[in-house]
A and B are shown apart, each in its own frame.
Chain A
Amino acid sequence: MTDTSTAPVAGRDRSAPAAPPPVTRKDRGRWDLRERPELWMVPAVFVVVVLVWEFGVKLFDVDAFVLPPPSAIAESLWTQLTDDLFWGHFWVTAQETLAGFAIGVVVALTLGTMISQVPILEKTLMPYIVAFQTVPKVALAPLFVVWFGFGLTSKIVMAAVISFFPILINVIEGLRSADADRVQMLTVFGASRSQIFRMVRLPTALPFIFAGLDIGIVFAILGAVVGEFIGAQEGLGYLLLQTNYNFDIAGMFAVLVVLSLMGMLAHLLIRFAQRKVAFWAEENRVIGA
């Protein structure tokens, strides 16, 4: 995206009343604490919660097997992060998540495009898709372990299946959402179906697709961990069960922290890609006379 921080060029705009330039966040400084109080309020909430938790646990003498203090969790987290064994588990789950997500994305994009472009396919397949969507996918995990074994494959399949649906629904909805006036405009200038798809339908669908990817990646992590719960010898889900069996509650929390950081990182990466690729979606409320 070009620089929006500069006001529109004072060109030869001879139309009498030009609309005021859209005010963007950059105009006022991204890191201005008065304009964006969330910049200090978010860390403040974290500090307050941690302090209340730490001293509450000590004050009421809560058993560390029930709720360990944040200091114990931090200590456990540090031990884990400096242990190669832990990173082994981490990479296993990361691989399962990414491989499953990739498969889910490819299948959802292909199928979604076909369904949105071929009416008979939509009519035939949609009832099955809706029916299958209502199945709690997590309940399929034991079946996948039976079919694909205790290795990575069953977790990849689980991650793929569970991340596939939100992406598929968004692809179909997005490709359907093209503005009729824009399609008509291209038609007047002689555009073919494939040109209309490329020039309007696909760009219109991009913000939807990214919304699907955003949900999908988090679901993929969920799928991988659930798969590891059912039967695995490695991975963060497996580690979570191990710490649980050993009554290492602080260790469990440490793994949970890592899992949520993983999810947040993936979410931020997708948001970042969205802002680069579908940059207009944030601003398009300003469009139109």
Chain B
Amino acid sequence: MATQPALADGRSTTGPDAANWIDVSGLHKYYRPRKSEPTHALSDIDFQVRRGEFISVVGPSGCGKTTLLKILAGLISKSEGEVSIAGHAVDKPLPEVGMVFQAATLLPWRTILENVMVPAEIQKLDKATHRAKAMELIDMVGLTGFEEKYPYELSGGMQQRAGICRALVHDPAVLLMDEPFGALDAMTREYMNVELLRIWQEKAATIVLVTHSIPEAVFLSDRVIVMSPRPGRIDEVIDIDLPRPRELSVMNTDRAGVYVSRIRQHFNAASVID
């Protein structure tokens, strides 16, 4: 049994042991459009995430990885099965969750600091302590000096870093990331990956990352969940046994190459180019 987490709202969680920090079992999702056949978006999804683990979900388009993440975020409802985060059943957005989106989605009428404070403001958390926390996070991602700037004054990579600060400001138990670097150019993306690993280590965060980049998943993760479409299901869960802390050069090793090609085989089998 791990030490109990300090949740944003000070509640103590009862029961969730660190091995089942995120617990998904028997999850199904059907979409029932009015005039066509129901789609089986997710079929019998089962997995657990340890506390402090970095897990990635990859798969070709239409495999339901974004649907899965939205269910974890409490944005859409499940059809069958159980989903819980840190001991709380997920049936609506939980305050214990932080999320980073495909686009940074900053509010243009707020400064960077005010944007980072959004979750604390929504959850009516103490202003002074969270302001200090926000400043700390802004410093951690290297945006010091930009607190009072507006989003349009920042580059795409800087905006996404502010988005990461926002997702962490309320000390979430879990960080969900939905293809957060997809809109960035290759150089910035690699740099952001290294940054993300540093943040993950520093905050001892639990991260679920949805990505369509196989090398990104291998580089970042402890485990990679490979999904396949029609119906969306888990094909394989691969342990990534690469030494930590990792640097980009680890991707040039044979071991990393083996992981990448092993995952890619699943994509080829599904005969879909993502």
**Which of A's residues lie within 8 Å of B, judged by CB?**
1-2, 4, 8-9, 11-19, 21-22, 181-182, 184-191, 195, 199-200, 203, 278-280, 283-284, 286-289
B206 contacts the other chain (CB 8 A): no
Residues in chain A near residue B156, CB distance under 8 A: 19, 288-289
Q: Is the CB of A189 within 8 A of B122?
A: yes
B148 contacts the other chain (CB 8 A): yes
Residues in chain B near residue A186, CB distance under 8 A: 118, 122
Residues in chain B near residue A184, CB distance under 8 A: 75, 101
Q: A12-B142, A182-B107, A185-B118 are in contact. List 4 more A-B contacts (CB 8 A).
A: A4-B153, A8-B146, A19-B155, A185-B105
Q: Is the CB of A189 within 8 A of B146?
A: no
Please give the number of chain B residues whose Cβ is less than 8 angstroms from any Cβ of chain A in the complex.
49
Instruction: A186 to B153: give the CA distance in the assembly, Å.
Output: 22
Instruction: A258 to B188: give the CA distance in the assembly, Å.
Output: 58
Instruction: A195 to B104: give the CA distance in the assembly, Å.
Output: 20
Q: Is the CB of B146 within 8 A of A287?
A: no
Interface of A is mostly: loop
- B59-100 CB contact bits vs A (8 Å, 1 = yes)? 000000000000001110000000000000000011101110
Known: A2-B150, A283-B152. A11 touches B145 (CB 8 A): yes
**Which of B's residues lie within 8 Å of A, judged by CB?**
73-75, 93-95, 97-99, 101, 103-109, 118-119, 121-123, 142-146, 148-161, 170, 183-185, 187-188, 191-192
Instruction: A31 to B170: give the CA distance in the assembly, Å.
Output: 47
Q: Is the CB of B191 within 8 A of A15?
A: yes
Q: Is the CB of A203 within 8 A of B107?
A: yes
By beta carbon, the residue of chain B nearest A287 is B152
Q: Is the CB of B97 within 8 A of A188?
A: yes
Known: A16-B187, A289-B160, A289-B183. A8 touches B105 (CB 8 A): no
Q: Is the CB of A11 within 8 A of B142?
A: yes
Residues in chain A near residue B97, CB distance under 8 A: 188
Instruction: A203 to B108: give the CA distance in the assembly, Å.
Output: 9
Q: Is the CB of A189 within 8 A of B123?
A: yes
- Output the residue of B75, B98, B109, B187 with the most chain A CB within 10 A: B109
Residues in chain B near residue A4, CB distance under 8 A: 153
B80 CB to nearest A CB, Å: 23
By beta carbon, the residue of chain B nearest A16 is B187
- Output the residue of B98, B105, B108 with the most chain A CB within 10 A: B108
Q: Is the CB of B154 within 8 A of A8?
A: yes
Known: A17-B185, A181-B105, A199-B118. A8 touches B157 (CB 8 A): no
Instruction: A187 to B70: give the CA distance in the assembly, Å.
Output: 11
Q: Is the CB of A22 within 8 A of B153?
A: yes
Q: Is the CB of B148 within 8 A of A289?
A: no
Q: Is the CB of B107 within 8 A of A199?
A: yes
Instruction: A190 to B159: give the CA distance in the assembly, Å.
Output: 22
Residues in chain B near residue A19, CB distance under 8 A: 155-156
CB pairs A–B below 8 angstroms (21 shown): A2-B149, A2-B150, A8-B146, A8-B149, A11-B143, A12-B145, A13-B142, A15-B155, A15-B191, A17-B188, A19-B155, A184-B75, A188-B97, A189-B122, A190-B94, A280-B109, A283-B108, A284-B108, A284-B152, A287-B152, A289-B157
